[in-house]
Amino acid sequence: MKKVSSDISLNELDVSEIALWPRQLQLFVVGLVSIILLFSLYWFDIKARQETLARFEQAQLELKADFEKKYMRAVNYPIYVNQKKEVSNRLAQVLEMLPKRAEVPGLVDSLSEKGVSAGLIFRSIRMRAEKKSDFVTELPMEVNVVGSYHELAHFVELLASMSRLVTIHDFTITTLSENELKTYVPVNGNEILRMILTVKTYRYTEPEGQDE
């Protein structure tokens, strides 16, 4: 068997005679092939495994977050139930304060009675256009009354104490003209004033087709 000289050119090397190559060259080739094989193994196998592991870890984090969310819901479920009951009870109380359609005329009469009991003189009560929403229907009334400052304040207090839900908006207080003052006799020397305000009550908006 012939032996390849250590001074041989790389172009003269024959892979089939690798056993005859110089020792250092054999080690170099073996090392180079090993590096290529290891790199290929990493690229096609280990890297794929790492990507699979990364996806698994991400899925694990998502499952953990989902579990924690559901766990918190389960732990807080009794609190949610109690809060729902409390909201339902409050809603029922508010609905009880809303007059039914048939009760609106009586509410106007009650408003007039409170004004008279406060010592006021009613100039007018005008119903304004209803404003409907999904839940309630707003029923505004423009009220024009005359009386002393203390009588006007007492009337507002009486409105606030009504059992039905009533709110006061856009009120103005002005003095009377000289001609108007001739019509009203001051009580205890108090100045007579006019108050115009919007009083709103609210009716539950019943579903269409439901008997009122």
Average pLDDT in the chain: 76
On the question of pLDDT at 212 being above 50, the answer is: no
pLDDT band at 63 (very low <50, low <70, confident <90, very high): confident
- The CA-atom distances, in angstroms, between 193 and each of 112, 142, 171, 175, 190 are 18, 17, 13, 5, 9
Amino acid 20: pLDDT:
62
Span 74-98, pLDDT tens digits: 777 777 777 777 877 776 666 666 6
How do the domains of the chain map onto residue ranges? 1-97, 101-204
Amino acid 211: pLDDT:
46
Q: Tell me the fold of 101-204.
A: Alpha-Beta Plaits (3.30.70)
Do residues 79 and 87 make contact, with C-beta atoms less than 8 angstroms apart? no
- 201 - beta bridge partners? 139, 166
- The long-range contacts involving 91-100, CB below 8 angstroms and separated by at least 24 positions, are 94/165, 95/204, 97/163, 97/164, 97/165, 98/136, 98/164, 98/165, 98/201, 98/202, 98/203, 98/204, 99/164, 99/201, 99/203, 100/203, 100/204, 100/212
Task: Report pTM.
Answer: 0.51
Span 99-140, pLDDT tens digits: 666 566 777 888 888 999 998 989 888 988 888 877 778 889
Q: Calculate mean pLDDT across residues 2-30.
A: 58
Q: Calculate mean pLDDT across residues 171-181.
A: 84
Amino acid 172: pLDDT:
92
